[in-house]
Amino acid sequence: MIRRTTTISLVLAATSASAEVPRVMTDIAPVHSLVARVMEGVGEPEVLLPPGASPHDYSFRPSDARRLSDADLVVWMGEGLEPWLADPIETLGSGATLELLETDGWPKRELSDAHDHGVDGDDHDHDHDEHDHADEAHDDHDHEGEDHEDHDTHAGHGHDHGDFDPHAWLDPFNAGVWLTHIAEALSEADPENAQTYAENAEAAQDDLASLISEITAQLGDPGDATFAVGHDAYGYFFDRFELTMSGAVTLSDAQAPGPARIAALKEQFAEDGTRCILVDPQSGAEWPALTIEGTDIAVKEVDPLGGGIETGPDFYPALLRDMAGKLADCLTEE
């Protein structure tokens, strides 16, 4: 009896060891959601940044360092969004990393596309030919494979994003491409569950293709309607669904707009007939408010990080539906 119990215990221990899933750390809630979707039925990833934290200037804590060092796989947007995270990953991380902004197969948007659009007299031709790829998008990826003792270790990093816009998770096409990369990275870390990861990624890609169609129908034809933004974080969503941005109040380095820029933006918004200005809680509404003072332009708080939405595999589609709903309201409000 004792021998049999010992044998069973050894078998269970071996099974448990072989079935152990990788510990996965993600940076922001949208990335966490995509990874959680691929890991459904196997395990759950962790997310580094708490709700409401900005990836541009987060204060990295000792408890974060401990969690990062324990991870078998780190999936993050990349240095273009979070330059402060590159060194900790390199020095503390002992596992594999997947930097989504460095992957291929998705269209990168240059930051200069919207910052001074119209404000310096640029002409107003909004040709979307290079963004007219919603149908090809699905074809391309279809079935492809606190403690109080913590002290801040990060002070003030600026958030100059480099050559292209790092807020790329707001285009569901991009997310569909990344799902394949995520499944591959998980499969390398955990070959026993590779089939589950691949099947989950494929199902999620189908769901995203349906989501693109759903939001396209919801927004309809925006016509000449334009939207202003407090911070240029929404461009990928605008490009995907052929919405027009009339101007961004703050540039990529979040420099405060001067009086001349505020006056130029006011003039531009009036000329465009701008419906709404989108502000995100990380950047605030103080500067955007100056550009719409005395106008009928509505203010919509749209958090590109989905603050207030429950994290998990359903977070990502909920984030995009929330954004689409607020933009649809702008189009219908008189």
Reduce the DSSP state of residue 246 to 3 states and report it.
Answer: strand
Q: Tell me the CA distances in angstroms from 57 to 22, 81, 120, 242, 284, one per residue in order.
A: 28, 10, 30, 30, 14
8 A C-beta contact, residue 170 and residue 99: no
8 A C-beta contact, residue 228 and residue 245: yes
Q: Which string of DSSP letters, residue by residue, matches 24-62?
A: EEESSHHHHHHHHHHHTTT---EESSPTT--TTS----H
Identify the structural domains of the chain with CATH numbers, from first to last.
Answer: 19-145+163-332 (3.40.50.1980)
Q: Which string of DSSP letters, residue by residue, matches 270-296?
A: HHHT--EEEE-TTT-SHHHHHHHTTS-
User: In the chain, what percentage of residues exceed pLDDT 70?
Assistant: 77
Select from 196, 170, 203, 186 the least CA-distant residue to 45. Answer: 186
Please write the tens of the pLDDT for every residue from 170-203.
Answer: 999 999 999 999 999 999 999 999 999 999 999 9
* pLDDT band for position 165 (cuts 50, 70, 90): very high
Please write the tens of the pLDDT for every residue from 209-243.
Answer: 999 999 999 999 988 899 999 988 999 999 999 99
* pLDDT band for position 244 (cuts 50, 70, 90): very high
pLDDT at 84 over 80: yes
8 A C-beta contact, residue 62 and residue 150: yes
Task: Return the residue matching tokens 């990874």.
Answer: 35
Spatial separation of the C-alpha atoms in residues 77 and 31, rounded to whole Å: 7
Please state the pTM of the whole predicted model: 0.81
Torsion angle (degrees, nearest 10) of CA 246, 248, 249, 250: -170
List 227's β-bridge partners, or say none. Answer: 245, 276
Position 170 scores a pLDDT of: 98
User: In the chain, what percentage of residues exceed pLDDT 90?
Assistant: 61
Please write the tens of the pLDDT for every residue from 103-140.
Answer: 999 999 987 444 444 444 333 333 444 444 444 444 44
HEC string of 130-173 equals HHCCHHHHHHHHCCCCCCCCCCCCCCCCCCCCCCECCCHHHCHH
8 A C-beta contact, residue 297 and residue 191: no
Token code pair at residue 152? 């801040």
Spatial separation of the C-alpha atoms in residues 299 and 244, rounded to whole Å: 16
Q: Strands, E, within 287-331: which ranges? A: 298-301
